[in-house]
Amino acid sequence: MTGRQVRGRRRATTQRARVAVAVVGWLVVWQLAAAAVDQHVLLVGPWDVAVRLTELVPTSAFWAAVTRTLVSIAAGFVLAVVVGVALAAACAASRWADAVVAPVVVTVRATPVVSFIILVLVWTDASRLALVVAFLMALPVLHATVLEGIRARDVRLLEMARVFAVPWPRRVTAVDVPQVLPFLVAGCRTGVGLAWKAGIAAEVIGLPAGTIGEQLYQARMFLATADVLAWTVVVVVLAALTERVVVAALDRAGGRGGEPVRRRPSGLEAGGVA
């Protein structure tokens, strides 16, 4: 093991320790705030949430809701990745395609998520709601970041590939993908969060049966704050796991041999759910 690897592992260990300390600190603040409020309807502490989670996790209803919501939002996000990459490639290759696609992407980005939820409920049943809304919220971010990555490719590498007559498939895998992949990862990191926030919001409004959104709505109706926070923790964990799986899959697809893809800064990836 080289000195650089040792230093890298030490830095990673130190960073994990800092994160752990920060998490514990915020949990303490949360518990103190709950004790100060002393009203379970308004705020419960992390211990109460943990106890409620231990009651929910063993039930079949919990896993049914998690599975249905996870499948819907993951499918919408994967579809957004495929369509976003395809549209970005088309826009980079053709100015006409860019002129046609750009207004649509801008409109989707600016439209409030609640408008999409209402329209989808008018057009189809609630069972497809989370999938469609997750797709629409993640698509503009993925399109923008991938298009930025394609346009930021090193012109010298592209020219060298042309000079040496590198076959198109080889050029894509050896020249294009390594340069665009960090931008795709950055878009996926943001897109996953948007997909989960918008998808859960859609479920809370549309109330498809047997979903996390339905469970959150019922908890709110019965003023079960512990349930609301417990399901919120579940959503945060699922979103984090989804992000890790996506990044790991992109690492493997990019042939990085387990080396994490470096995140490239992007001014186009910021977004929110209106």
Whole-number Å distance between alpha carbons of 243 and 263: 13
Residues 36-41 have a mean pLDDT of 91
pLDDT tens per residue across span 62-82: 999 999 999 999 999 999 999
Q: Which residues of 131-140 are buried (b: 16+ CB within 10 A; e: fewer)?
A: bbbbbbbbbb
Alpha-carbon distances, residue 90 vs 13, 130, 147, 264 (angstroms)? 42, 27, 9, 22
Whole-number Å distance between alpha carbons of 254 and 258: 10
pLDDT tens per residue across span 74-103: 999 999 999 999 999 999 999 999 999 999
**pLDDT value for 1:** 61
pLDDT tens per residue across span 214-223: 999 999 999 9
**pLDDT value for 222:** 94
**pLDDT value for 99:** 96
Structure tokens given for 246:
């996506």
Residues 121-132 have a mean pLDDT of 92
DSSP state of 258: T
pLDDT tens per residue across span 234-250: 999 999 999 999 999 98
pLDDT at 273 over 70: no
pLDDT tens per residue across span 127-182: 999 999 999 999 999 999 999 999 998 888 878 887 777 887 777 788 888 999 99
Q: How far is CA 94 from the centre of its chain?
A: 29
Contact in structure between 273 and 205 (CB atoms under 8 Å): no
Give residue 266's pLDDT band: very low, low, confident or very high (50, 70, 90). Answer: very low
